[in-house]
Amino acid sequence: MPGGKERELRRRIGSIQSTKKITRAMELIAATRVVKAMQRANAARPYARLITSVIEDLAAGGAEVDHPLLRQAPEVRNVGFIIITGDRGLAGAYNTSVIRTAERQVMAHMSEGKGYSLCCVGRKSASYFRFRNYRIDNAMSGFSDNPSYDDARRIAETVSESFLSEAVDQVELIYTEFVSMGTQRVVVRRFLPLVDTEMMAREGSGTGREGSFEFEPSPEAVLEALLPRYTEARLYGALLDAAASEHASRQRAMKAATDNAEELITKLSRAMNQARQDAITTEIMEIVGGAEALGGGDATDADVALASMLAGTDASVMATAGAHPA
Amino acid sequence: MAVELDVELVSPEEVTYSGSAEMVIVRTVEEGDIAFQAGHVPFLGVLAPWSVDVLRPGGERDTFAVHRGFVEVSHNKVTILSDVSESADEIDTARAETARQQAADALAVDAEDAEAAAALERAELRLRVAAA
């Protein structure tokens, strides 16, 4: 049936074109969001830096380190995991690479005979682990592309609670670190117990600050009020990094999809043009054949019949007819 | 005074305020106000939910409501870390008034309601800062 293949191809090109419009729009949205997410991550840095420097000062001031959040369990029996993924897909390997790393970590701890407790942040990780019948203790979602400090506080509180109640002895934080626009990598960080303040001081800038601080009410009380804030700030930093990474991954994935759609459209357009050309050629062959059979060898009649047929068709048919000996 | 203090108010989300001051007055959890001027010894304290007053060199005064946080003073630099702080212009007086009413009503019903007590304290602090 002439024209059938052509119509089919035209329909496919149409649908690819509308897909391309969507992926292009998503790419542009992700591009603006990644800039915003990066700005937010940068704006959050002073607080994180200052809170670390306050801890350094505390260490220098000789605060006695004895806080439940610093509790090192003699034997780790249960390990908690905070898994930060996105709420939505279409972000390339962003979600799957976090999930894969997390599952490997859980497996590794289980093979050592330890229990696990999952805190899934983002809809994707929750649905993955739920589908595979893992026990999920906490699942939070709805803010992965624009996390607020309140979200971080909620997660930190829930996790700290289960740590303080000794339901878990150790908490690992798995998220995607935003290195640059081109590079994001999945990292596994110890979230709890916090390393002691001396370690923090050593990990920090380590500048020789003067140690003669006055504390009010006391170094221990300051530390006690400070450590929960410190966990929140760390989690908030991780959420912001993850959000920036998600947008960057989505932008890249959608750019690839748009490019693919363009390539596919070019290919299909070529195939469609060829199909149309073939259909036209076939049609003319049929007309000529029919005219010849009718005319019974009378050349003049055949020419007239062909001319009247051609008058009804479009210009591209003329071109084909011209190349075709009548 | 020749030497001034650098003041920064930092929230987890951003640096909300930075400027210079002659004096900064805060209240710590020990229920005592403390004022810092240039040359103060290094100091680290936990803040009570109270106002922070920044006295600018020109004689102006900026007031903030800080609901919880820390103050660190060293090298003529005052840093206030707080996850909830508001400047006087940011405060919605009408909303704070409604919140105060609601909290007061809740306390009238149940005097042990810690949440309402905290809400009342916050609303009163907001109103006080807005009025200053």
Distance from CA of B75 to the nearest CA of A (A): 10
Residue of A nearest to B79 (CA): A50
User: Do B53 and B103 belong to one domain?
Assistant: no
Does A209 or A249 have the greater pLDDT score? A249
Does A300 or A276 have the greater pLDDT score? A276
Q: How is residue A144 written in tokens?
A: 């992965």
pLDDT over 90, % of chain A: 52
| C-alpha neighbours within 13 Å on the C-beta side of residue A8 | 7
* Interchain CB contact of A58 with B (< 8 Å): yes
pLDDT over 90, % of chain B: 7
One-letter amino acid of A6: E
User: Do B63 and B105 belong to one domain?
Assistant: no
Q: How is residue A292 written in tokens?
A: 């010849």
Cis peptide before A74 (omega within 30 of 0): no
Q: Do B41 and A54 touch (CB under 8 A)?
A: no
User: Do B23 and B67 belong to one domain?
Assistant: yes
Residue ranges of the alpha helices (H) in chain A? 4-60, 94-111, 123-131, 149-164, 197-203, 219-295, 299-311, 315-323
Distance from CA of A261 to the nearest CA of B (A): 39
Name the domain count of chain B: 2
Which of A120-134, A146-160, A219-233, A299-313 bottoms out in mean pLDDT, i.e. has the lowest? A299-313
User: Do B78 and B104 belong to one domain?
Assistant: no
User: Do B52 and B96 belong to one domain?
Assistant: no
Task: Indicate the average pLDDT of chain A.
Answer: 85
Using one digit for the tens of pLDDT, what is the confidence trace for A189-233? 988 887 755 565 555 444 445 557 788 788 888 888 888 888 999
Does A75 score more than 80 pLDDT?
A: yes
Q: How is residue A191 written in tokens?
A: 């979230």
B54 lies in which domain range? 5-88
Using one digit for the tens of pLDDT, what is the confidence trace for A279-295? 899 999 999 999 988 87
Contact residues, chain A, for B83 at CB < 8 Å: 149, 153, 229, 232
Residue contacts between A and B (CB atoms, under 8 Å): 87
User: Do B68 and B52 belong to one domain?
Assistant: yes
H or E stretch covering B50: strand B50-55
Q: Do A222 and B70 touch (CB under 8 A)?
A: yes
ipTM: 0.79
* Mean pLDDT value across residues A224-253: 92
Does A270 score more than 90 pLDDT?
A: yes
Q: What is the largest CA-CA distance in chain B?
A: 55
User: Do B10 and B70 belong to one domain?
Assistant: yes
pTM of the model: 0.80
Q: List domains and CATH numbers for chain A.
A: 27-250 (3.40.1380.10)
Measured between alpha carbons, how far apart are the two ends of chain B, in Å?
A: 25
Using one digit for the tens of pLDDT, what is the confidence trace for A136-158? 999 999 998 889 999 999 999 99
* Interchain CB contact of A173 with B (< 8 Å): no
Using one digit for the tens of pLDDT, what is the confidence trace for B15-29? 888 888 888 999 888
* Mean pLDDT value across residues A233-240: 92
Could you say which residues of chain B have pLDDT below 50? 1
Q: Do B81 and A54 touch (CB under 8 A)?
A: yes
**Model confidence band, residue A105 (pLDDT cutoffs 50, 70, 90):** very high
Q: Do A210 and B42 touch (CB under 8 A)?
A: yes
Rg (CA), chain A: 33
User: Do B78 and B97 belong to one domain?
Assistant: no
User: Do B15 and B53 belong to one domain?
Assistant: yes
User: Do B44 and B104 belong to one domain?
Assistant: no
Calpha distance A166→A227 (Å, rounded): 18
User: Do B25 and B74 belong to one domain?
Assistant: yes
